[in-house]
Amino acid sequence: MEINQIIDNIYPLTSKSKNLIKETIIEIKFPKGHILFKANKIETSIYFIKKGIARAYAYSDDNQITFWFGKEGDPIVSMQSYVNNQKGYEDVELLEDCVLYELKIEKLQKLFLENIHIANWGRKFSELELIKSEKRLIALQFNTATERYLALIENYPSIIQRVQLSHIASYLGITQVSLSRIRANIK
């Protein structure tokens, strides 16, 4: 997805303000398997996905638990770094060859203080992420694993083709074995 559309989908800006954001952005490619963010590190950039798919995961004991997927148009953000300038707890791995738009957090925050339209764009950005997070939280609390799996393939059918089931299982809050069972029961 092109950067103009990504920016405007969050909150439409005049081309003047949009250009101020775009001047801080560079396009950058990474191969499949690249680790974009490392846990326990303060990240200095956020990204938007032009092409590709990524996951964020953290460790629980020895095993990785995926808690976020991003695809074309989605932002990749270490919230602890972005909001509090603190170390994040997640790795982000690219699951396909990716083309990303990179924004330096420092430059963006400078724009927030200088340009009210961009400040409101940044406000809207967090508001939309908050809505996503809240919906995800409620799904996890209200729905069974089977319901969450059906909702996922309903909302994003091609994820099954693009992401391996072990990652999807941990995203759903269950083991891979349990997901396999659920898939067998649905048919």
Max Cα–Cα distance, the chain, nearest Å: 56
Residue among 7, 99, 101 nearest 45 (CA): 101
Binding partner selected for residue 165 from a copy of itself, DNA, none, CB under the kind-specific 5 to 8 Å limit: DNA
The count of chain residues that interact with a copy of itself, using the rule CB under 8 A, is 34
Residue among 8, 10, 4 nearest 123 (CA): 10
What six digits make up the tokens of 64? Answer: 């990785």
Chain residues in the site for DNA (CB under 7 A): 144-146, 164-166, 173-184
- Decide: is 165 part of the binding site for a copy of itself (CB under 8 A): no
DSSP string, 16-55: HHHHHHHTTEEEEEE-TT-EEE-TTS---EEEEEEE--EE
Residue given tokens 């559309």 in the structure block: 5
- Decide: is 166 part of the binding site for a copy of itself (CB under 8 A): no
Please state the length of the chain.
187
- Decide: is 12 part of the binding site for a copy of itself (CB under 8 A): no
The nearest distance, CB 183 to a copy of itself, in angstroms, is 20
> Residue 113 or residue 184: which is nearer to a copy of itself going by CB?
113
Binding partner selected for residue 166 from a copy of itself, DNA, none, CB under the kind-specific 5 to 8 Å limit: DNA
> Residue 8 or residue 27: which is nearer to a copy of itself going by CB?
8
> Residue 44 or residue 146: which is nearer to DNA going by CB?
146
What six digits make up the tokens of 34? Answer: 């690249």
At how many degrees (to 10) do helices 3-10 and 116-142 cross? 80
- Decide: is 37 part of the binding site for a copy of itself (CB under 8 A): no
State the CB neighbour count (10 A cutoff) for residue 90: 22
Q: Which stretches of the chain bind a copy of itself, using CB under 8 A?
A: 58, 60, 65, 67, 79-80, 82-84, 89, 112-113, 115-116, 119-120, 122-123, 126-131, 133-134, 136-138, 140-142, 170, 173
